[in-house]
Amino acid sequence: MSANPVSLAVFLSLFALVACLGFVATRWRKADLHSVHEWGLGGRSFGTLITWFLLGGDLYTAYTFIAVPALMFGAGAMGFFAVPYTILMYPVLFLCFPRLWAVARKHGYATAADFVRGRFGNRPLALAIALTGIVATIPYVALQLAGMQVVIAALGIPTTLGGIPNLPLIVAFLVLAAYTYVSGLRGTALTAVVKDILIYVTVLTAIIVIPSQLGGYEKVFSAIDPKALLLTSGTEDNLGQGFAYASLAVGSLLALFLYPHSLTGLLSSASSGAIRRNAILLPIYSLALALLALLGYTAVSAGIKGMPDYAPGFAEFGNNFAIPALFLHMFPPWFAGVAFAAIAIGALVPASIMAIASGNLFTRNIYKEFIAPNCTPAQEARAAKLASTGLKLGALFFVLLFQTSYAIQLQLLGGIWICQTLPAVLIALYTRFFNPWALLAGWAAGIAAGSAMVVELGLKSSIYPLHIFGVTVPCYAALIALVLNIAVSFILSVILNAVSKAPRQDETVASDYIG
């Protein structure tokens, strides 16, 4: 398929606009970007509206834009799990994370590992939390670049230009790396505003125009296999898809705000009130996600699977090409360019904040803690910038050297791993009961068990069939591992707290948690 000049021109214009905004952000709320506080957290100065755009741009990524409807397109109702979990996670955000923001503001914490270090005074535990965040984020960034690959293919841009393989993706990476290095979180926040506007325009247009062209939603749903519209029922010896669906939603909502990029967006807020207001306002994105998910069914109704024009060269993307193909088929070229720009920019924004968050973790919890404890703020910021660039480079090589499915498989593990930081971060906001060495043992047990389950499944699924008293319980591996994690942490804490009379280190006090 050759590139349509109109689609390509619209796409490049919008992409260039956003790239320019990323660099211009150095003059927006001008500050000293030679410190992690300013470069990596935006000076903790973002109000309700900017935080809303930033978190929306961070949580609802290009891969979400492509993968959720693609899952509905290929697997049916099971793919809809993303909608309830993005609704249920906001009460958790409202109740818990203003406490983390308050104590982080009081003590200057920039990462979850900073909080763990201050709460428990245990360097190995803080290092484990930091490494978990960094490792879990790499495949997440790789998936954003993979989403951009789908857009480049949909536009008909040759993957090899001037004799250089994957040149378009490399150019997009260089733009991302440059403006992230220069502008930090300010650049991400400013581009997030444009990204979210474009995505809302695209989604609202798509859910109105496409079904109307297909004869309405009644005809859309009538074209779907009834088996794809409902989850399979459980039996006496198997709880069925319903339990798997619920466990996947619960595990995902527990993990999402523990990811480093989510916490970075939250800690950049100017007040705990801004976080609470966003917990009320962010479900608007869940509505957009629900409408977006239904596009998977409209792609089935439009007969995308039977369109050979979109098959050559796109086999490697599988169902992920369903939505770009739908846009190419149903929209005029100029609006297809707008939609593809929304997806590509939807990759730049979260990839940027993910890299920034990982840079913060590296410089605060590895570089400053173990390598250069006496570094200056400028040296600390430079280390964070270089680390964020290195992470993006690693994600790029991952996408270029391996199949996209590997990044997806590692992302399954990433969600399981990040869930194992919950006891040391989220539960620790409310209690000092747990012993830090017990938490470290629980973390190790959870990581090992979760990884073993996914490996046993051949890295093809994160739903593990747990057999209990003759009943098969298909459950998200992250939840099983988390239960083991908490059990080990609790039992060992009882033992260690009983035998050890040494005073517990904790630089926080109760009043620090009140925003």
Reported as a single tens digit per residue, the pLDDT across 395-424 is 888 777 766 655 566 677 888 999 999 999
User: Is the pLDDT at 200 greater than 60, yes or no?
Assistant: yes
- What percent of the chain is modeled with pLDDT above 90? 36
C-alpha–C-alpha distance, residues 137 and 139, integer Å: 6
C-alpha–C-alpha distance, residues 205 and 284, integer Å: 16
121 SS3 class: coil
User: Is the pLDDT at 294 greater than 50, yes or no?
Assistant: yes
Lowest model confidence (mean pLDDT) among 62-71, 187-196, 246-255: 62-71
* pLDDT band per the 50, 70, 90 thresholds, residue 151: confident
Q: 356-371 in b/e burial notation, b at 16+ Cβ within 10 A?
A: bbbbbbbbbbbbbbee
> Per-residue pLDDT averaged across 458-487, rounded?
91
Strands (E), 7-57: none
- Is-contact 229 11, C-beta < 8 A? no
* Strand-pair partners of 73: none
Q: What is the pLDDT of residue 411?
A: 73
Q: Mind listing the pLDDT tens digit for each residue in 66-119?
A: 778 888 887 777 777 778 888 888 999 999 999 999 999 999 999 999 999 999
Of the ranges 7-11, 179-183, 433-437, 497-501, the best mean pLDDT one: 433-437
Which H or E run includes 23?
helix 5-24
Q: What is the pLDDT of residue 28?
A: 66
Q: Per-residue DSSP letters for 371-425?
A: I-TT--HHHHHHHHHHHHHHHHHHHHHHHHHS-HHHHHHHHHHHHHHHHTTHHHH
Q: How far from 217 is each of 198, 297, 303, 463, CA to CA, in Å?
A: 24, 10, 15, 31
> Per-residue pLDDT averaged across 274-290, rounded?
89
All domains of the chain in start order, with CATH: 5-232+255-402 (1.20.1730.10)
Q: What is the pLDDT of residue 311?
A: 42
* pLDDT band per the 50, 70, 90 thresholds, residue 30: low
Q: Which two tokens stand for residue 146?
A: 């993979």
Of the ranges 61-65, 219-223, 275-279, 461-465, the best mean pLDDT one: 275-279
The CB-based long-range contact list for 492-498 (8 Å cut-off, 24+ gap) reads 492/435, 492/437, 492/438, 492/441, 492/442, 493/433, 493/434, 493/435, 493/438, 493/439, 495/438, 496/435, 496/437, 496/438, 497/433, 497/435
Q: Mind listing the pLDDT tens digit for each residue in 336-376?
A: 899 888 888 888 888 889 999 999 999 999 999 999 999 99
Q: 213-241 in b/e burial notation, b at 16+ Cβ within 10 A?
A: ebeeeeebbeebeeebeebeebeeebbeb
* pLDDT band per the 50, 70, 90 thresholds, residue 288: confident
- Is-contact 277 48, C-beta < 8 A? yes
- Is-contact 39 184, C-beta < 8 A? yes
* pLDDT band per the 50, 70, 90 thresholds, residue 329: confident
Q: What is the pLDDT of residue 163?
A: 62
Tabulate helix, strand, coil % of the chain (nearest 5): 75, 5, 20
* pLDDT band per the 50, 70, 90 thresholds, residue 308: very low
End-to-end CA distance of the chain: 55
User: Is the pLDDT at 243 greater than 70, yes or no?
Assistant: yes
Q: What is the pLDDT of residue 17?
A: 87
Q: How far from 139 is each of 248, 293, 355, 457, CA to CA, in Å?
A: 19, 23, 11, 19
User: Is the pLDDT at 481 greater than 90, yes or no?
Assistant: yes
Q: Among candidates 395, 388, 396, 346, which has minimal Cα distance to 367?
A: 388
